Amino acid sequence: MTTSVRTETAGSALVITIDRPEARNAVDAEVARGIAAAIDELESDAALRVGVLTGAAGTFCAGMDLKAAARGESPAVAGKGFAGLAEAATTTPLIAAVEGYALGGGFELALACDLVVAAEGATFALPEVKRGLIAAGGGVLRLPRRIPHHVAMEALLTGRSITASRAHDLGVVNRLTAEGAALPVALELAAELAANAPLALAAAKRLVREAEPEPFDLHRAELRALRESADFAEGVRAFTEKRAPRWTGR
């Protein structure tokens, strides 16, 4: 583990908490390594039947740490992708327990989980287009498969946020809870899953993954091109300087 990610067991569940409240739990290299290590622990310990991913201090995750990215840090882990999870071929069920913001990569972390529990005040968004980028952790691949095409395209092309209630209506959120109750409800759901046969749970995950392949190779190629663009550099500068970006299309 790292100081930015902590784990604890709750029965047969492993609770993975992103703990960078000063940065709204944004993903830097340390967070990515911490989540990857936690996922390895979850996959290797037969006593752990379900993982629950959450964030500290009332925020799930504000996405990629743009300031860390500007310093050259990578928010990805080899073989596991963004935040050490987006491309990981996990077999143990994962539940996202979302309070507050799940923005950009934070929303993608929720989409990388099998189930999502969200508090009523939670907010989801993929705002990368506002910074000259696309969602780095598979959001452009996964969101159109989870909600109606045109609704997904509106979210991807405008960067507008989606309320927890709307996400629940669209089927992205499995359980909608009172604020502060996302983790307890996620643990209740985890206990229900853990009562089932682990081999059957793993088989269900594998079949779903293999039946809906995700073209991450194409995704990475598009992302590389965007990261080398002048518009991405301008988007990062505009963010750090707290001003509107001046796009050039280059």
Distance separating alpha carbons of residues 109 and 73, to the nearest angstrom: 19
> Which SS3 state, helix, strand or coil, does residue 71 take?
coil
Choose the catalytic residue: 30, 43, 99, 108. Answer: 108
Partners of residue 82 on adjacent β-strands: 76
Active site residue 128: yes
Residues 160, 161, 167, 169, Cα dihedral to 10°: -60
Residue 8: count of CB within 10 angstroms of its CB = 9
Partners of residue 18 on adjacent β-strands: 5, 55
Element (DSSP H or E) covering residue 8: strand 5-10
- Locate tokens 């703990």: which residue? 19
Choose the catalytic residue: 128, 222, 228, 241. Answer: 128
User: Across the beta sheet with 123-125, what order do the strands follow?
Assistant: 101-103, 123-125, 162-163
Active site residue 108: yes
Distance separating alpha carbons of residues 87 and 106, to the nearest angstrom: 14
Q: Which residues are catalytic?
A: 108, 128
